[in-house]
Amino acid sequence: MSVSEMGAAPTVVLDAGGDSTIPIYVGLWEAISINNALNSEMLPRPITHDLIVELFRNFDITLDALHIDSLEEGVFYAKLLLRQGSRTEIMDCRPSDGIAIALRYRAPIMIEDTVVESAAVKKDDLPRMVDLKEYL
């Protein structure tokens, strides 16, 4: 959670190399799902991202990578790079959903250089960050 005098917001902080990061503000439920994936926690019933991963795996669909490919007017855009046999598909997705799915697949998360250039923030310039579980 990104915490400031203005309030708190669920935030995914991606390493952009060196002392740079890319903060992506996400919804609370997506943050919980991402946190579950990072900690290898499974709920008693599958949530949406678990269901998508199970569906892909049952149909032999491989997630090759998540590609965060653009930033327009403060909104990040991403694509899932999928493969089934010799067939490949690129699916548009919200970065928060893509991150939650990619973490479950242990798939790489790639960020377009132009996005890194325009969105990178020095680690020291981030607002105060609080672990999601501690915050909740």
Going residue by residue through the chain (136 aa), what tens digit of pLDDT does each one get?
999 888 899 999 999 988 999 999 999 999 999 999 999 998 899 999 999 999 999 999 999 999 999 999 999 999 999 999 999 999 999 999 999 999 999 999 999 999 999 999 999 999 999 988 888 8
How would you class 40 by CB atoms within 10 Å of its CB: exposed for 0-12, middle for 13-18, buried for 19 or more?
exposed
Compute the distance between CA of residue 101 and CA of residue 105 in angstroms, rounded to an integer: 6
Element (H, E) at 11: strand 11-15
End-to-end, the C-alpha distance of the chain in Å comes to 9
What domains can be seen in the chain, in order of their start residue? 11-124 (3.10.690.10)
**Exposure b/e, 81-107, CB count within 10 A at least 16 = b:** bbeeeeeeeeeebbbbbbbbbbbbbeb
Q: What is the pLDDT of residue 132?
A: 87
